[in-house]
A = this chain, B = another copy of it.
Amino acid sequence: MSSITRPSGRSADSLREVRLTRNYTKHAEGSVLVEFGDTKVICTASLEDKVPGFLKGKGQGWLTAEYGMLPRSTNTRMDREAARGKQSGRTQEIQRLIGRSLRAAFDLEAFGERTLHLDCDVIQADGGTRTAAITGAMVAAYDAFSTLVESKAISAMPLKHFVAAISVGVYQGSPVLDLDYLEDSGCDTDMNVVMTDAGHFIEVQGTAEGAAFDRATLNSLLELAQAGITDLIALQRKTLGLR
Which A residues lie at the B interface, using CB under 8 A?
25-28, 31, 38, 40, 42, 44, 46, 48, 66, 68, 70-75, 77, 80-83, 85-87, 89-93, 95-96, 100, 104, 117, 119, 121, 123-125, 161, 191, 195-196, 198-208, 211-215, 218, 222
In the bound assembly, the distance between CA atoms of A229 and B93 in angstroms comes to 25
- CB contacts (< 8 Å) of A121 on chain B: these are 70
Smallest distance from the beta carbon of A221 to chain B beta carbons, Å?
A: 10
State which of B27, B74, B82, B125 has its C-beta within 8 Å of the C-beta of A81. Answer: B82
In the bound assembly, the distance between CA atoms of A73 and B121 in angstroms comes to 11
- CB contacts (< 8 Å) of A161 on chain B: these are 212
- Contacts A93-B93, A202-B207 aside, 8 further interface pairs with beta carbons under 8 A come to A28-B72, A44-B72, A46-B77, A70-B121, A77-B119, A82-B87, A202-B208, A203-B206
Contact A123 B42, beta carbon cutoff 8 Å = yes
Contact A204 B204, beta carbon cutoff 8 Å = yes
Contacts A/B (CB < 8 Å), 14 sampled = A27-B74, A28-B77, A42-B70, A46-B72, A66-B83, A77-B119, A80-B82, A80-B119, A89-B89, A198-B212, A201-B214, A202-B208, A204-B206, A218-B222
For this chain, the copies found in one complex come to 6
In the bound assembly, the distance between CA atoms of A222 and B207 in angstroms comes to 15
In the bound assembly, the distance between CA atoms of A186 and B80 in angstroms comes to 33
Contact A214 B202, beta carbon cutoff 8 Å = no
- CB contacts (< 8 Å) of A75 on chain B: these are 27
In the bound assembly, the distance between CA atoms of A42 and B206 in angstroms comes to 27
- CB contacts (< 8 Å) of A80 on chain B: these are 66, 68, 82, 119
In the bound assembly, the distance between CA atoms of A114 and B120 in angstroms comes to 32
In the bound assembly, the distance between CA atoms of A207 and B204 in angstroms comes to 7
Which partner residue on chain B sits nearest A215 by CB separation?
B222
In the bound assembly, the distance between CA atoms of A211 and B93 in angstroms comes to 22
In the bound assembly, the distance between CA atoms of A4 and B1 in angstroms comes to 40
Contact A200 B213, beta carbon cutoff 8 Å = yes
Which partner residue on chain B sits nearest A66 by CB separation?
B80
Which partner residue on chain B sits nearest A204 by CB separation?
B206
Smallest distance from the beta carbon of A217 to chain B beta carbons, Å?
A: 8
State which of B68, B73, B89 has its C-beta within 8 Å of the C-beta of A92. Answer: B89
